[in-house]
Structure 1
Amino acid sequence: MSNMRTVGTAARLASKRPFRVSIEGNIGSGKSTCIKFFEKFRNVEAHPEPLKEWRNVAGHNLLGLVYSEVNTWTFPFQHYVHLSRLKIQTSPPSHADITVKMFERSVQNSRHCFVENAKKQHYLQDPEYEVLMSWYDYTEKNLDIALDLIVYLRTTPQVVWERVMKRGRAEESEVPLAYLQEVHDSYENWLSAPDVGCEVLTIDADKNLDAVVEDLERYSYKILGGNHTN
């Protein structure tokens, strides 16, 4: 992992790109809250998950479709998710003062978490999986998508299921607990691997919102790239 981190840092310094932070976690783990917390910093460009874009792809609600018929719509949805995350992750900062680029989930998340889970659960056929792998491999080899830090809002599936039911997003109204368990397991497998590619900061997000915000405040120096040279 140290070699991959060194390569990512070298690429960032060579291109003078911002410090990249991906906020990761299960559905309902508090990623949006984390993004909003850091929006107050003038040097941070924060990108929430592009839900509006996924809900209107030339008039088609891909997010709603994948929740309603996961086997049919996982392939086009993951294809579009990869594209939208790639645009966020590699686009230049909005102005010269931006030193940190933060986004809700990443290209790496799509590849190592959701696509792997979709294959495991047979939401993707083998040819569909191989197409997505080829798309990701090409991206990784030809574009700088390296992350500098992952903030993992770690939760238990039961806790986030209760939160999802309370917040009442239309597309999530019938998300089963079993699916949240699958996503949790995929996150654990991905972020416990030795080749994640960057440092992972894990925060206990089962705690109440105020306690999570306190942790974000406590670790803000690290999250904002304080240990790195911009």
Structure 2
Amino acid sequence: MKINHVVYLSIGSNQGNKLVNLQNAIDLIADQVNSINKISSVYKTASWGFDSDDFFNICLKISTHHLPEQFMQILLNIEIELGRKRKDSSGYADRNIDIDILLFDDEIIFSKLLTVPHPKMLERKFVLIPLVEIAQSIIHPIEKKPLSICLLNCNDSAEISKIDAQLIRPVPITEKYNYIAIEGNIGAGKTSLSKMISNEFNAKIILERFAENPFLPKFYEDKERFAFPLEMSFLADRYHQLSDDLAQLDLFTNFIVSDYYIFKSLIFAQITLQKDEYLLYRKMFDLMYKEITKPDLYVYLYQNTARLLENIKKRGRDYEQNIEAGYLQKIHDGYKNFISTQQNLNTLVIDVSELDFVDNIEDYNAIIRQIKKSS
């Protein structure tokens, strides 16, 4: 489990469309450093230390698992992405975006890249006023006083005014959803993605216990004989696991991610069972399905058949090595039909055929952005 740090930032802009600049910075920060908890009002003030256009300034409260210098480097890259061009001189200058770390937990940091608390923050009302708005009771690590008292003691005489504008706080995944189910064909990467999301967002994870099923290797050797006991054992295990783990949603507001949804039982049963077996199986399934908590978001990872076969071969499970392309296509068709008929299930289909989200952080972030933007 990653440790979440609470960080306070100051962001300013005095070039171009300043409100758009601030919102773009907010959106990129939310994408790359976990979640934004609070955004202050927007304040206008004259340029500080030089004559130029007025600045718009805000402060943010952030949650992030990144360490201080790593976090600072991300912010510097965001400034560059937004067009910030730093000059060689040490004096003050116009800037379309300026992002500073004010506080990082209650740490005191002196490094080549970063000084925390920000050494100038107590001298600047355009920093303290928006900061106190969202963190008035926070204690300054060096002064050992609440920020509200630090503001009263500030000697800055510059005029600062709140403007009538409201910036949009991106809603983090952990606030938007309580339960996400990630599905996909055999070898699509659903377990890998579930683990990565669980790790990043400190989510409780529910993983299918396929390795514990004694019928699975036997099924791949003799499908006709072992299909029914395999599907029944999977259905029973999935029902008990989801019932037990998802019961927490009734008691807590935990964030839960699973690498399967119980409906996959019916999809596989349609392919593997004889007609009379399937009719009996369907009666049992319908009884259980009514009792299972539905996910807030159902994510289906589409992977083309060639990549699926490549992934199956790479992970090296002996009993999977003889899986044929036709069998994988039948599974995909089953999922496709299921998704098209579930009008009350919030579904997101993501094509991962050209993505390597396990080894490429940009591909992983692209998936997270799609999840965040889903309705």
Q: Settle same-fold status: TM greater than 0.5.
A: yes
For 1:66 and 1:198, how far apart are their aligned partners in 2? 31
- The amino acid across from 1:40 in the alignment is N
Mapping for residues 7-26 of structure 1, pairs under 5 Å: 19-26=178-185
Partner Cα separation in structure 2 for residue 21 and residue 213 of structure 1:
16
1:133 corresponds to which letter in structure 2? R
Residue identity opposite 1:159 in structure 2 = R
Contact 1:114 1:183 in 2 (8 A): yes
> Please, which of 368, 372, 375 is the counterpart of residue 217 of structure 1?
368
Structure 1 stretches of 4+ moved >4 Å: 94-98
One-letter amino acid matched to 1:163: N
Deviations for 1:181-206, whole angstroms, at most 9, x for unmatched residues?
1111111121122x353111111110
Deviates more, 1:35-44 or 1:19-28: 35-44
Identical positions, percent:
25
**Length-normalised TM-score, structure 1:** 0.75
Question: Paired residue for 1:100?
Answer: 255
As a proportion of its length, which structure holds more strand?
2
Counterpart AA for 1:29: A
C-alpha separation in 2, matches of 1:67 and 1:98: 40
Larger helix share, 1 or 2:
1
Per the TM alignment, residue 219 of structure 1 is displaced from its structure 2 partner at its CA by: 3.4
Residue 154 of structure 1 pairs with residue 309 of structure 2:
no
Backbone CA RMSD of aligned residues: 2.4
Task: Determine the C-alpha separation between the residues in 2 that align with 1:28 and 1:94.
Answer: 29
**SS at 1:219's partner residue?**
helix
Alpha-carbon distance change, 144 to 208 in structure 1, aligned in 2, over 3 angstroms: closer
What CA deviation, in whole Å up to 9, does each residue of 1:23-57 have, x standing for no partner?
11011111111111112256521112212321xxx
Match of 2:208 in 1: 49
Q: Deviations over 1:101-148 (max 9, x none)?
A: 22111111212x212222xxxxx222211121111111234x243232
* Matched AA of 1:67: Y
The offset of 1:89, in angstroms, is 1.7
Q: How does 1:196-207 map to 2 (within 5 A)?
A: 196-207=343-354
CA contact (8 A) 2:178 2:255 kept: yes
Q: Tell me which amino acid in the other structure corresponds to 2:231.
A: Q
Q: Which runs of 5+ in 1 are unaligned?
A: 1-17, 55-60, 119-123
Contact 1:203/1:212 (CA < 8 Å) preserved in 2? no
Q: Counterpart of 2:264?
A: 109
Structure 2: 5+ residue stretches without partners: 1-176
Cα separation, 1, equivalents of 2:310 and 2:201: 34
Aligned residue number for residue 74 of structure 1: 227
Higher relative contact order (CA 8 A, sep 6+): 1
Q: Distance in 1 between the 2:263 and 2:344 partners?
A: 10
Aligned to 1:3: none
Question: Whose Rg is larger?
Answer: 2
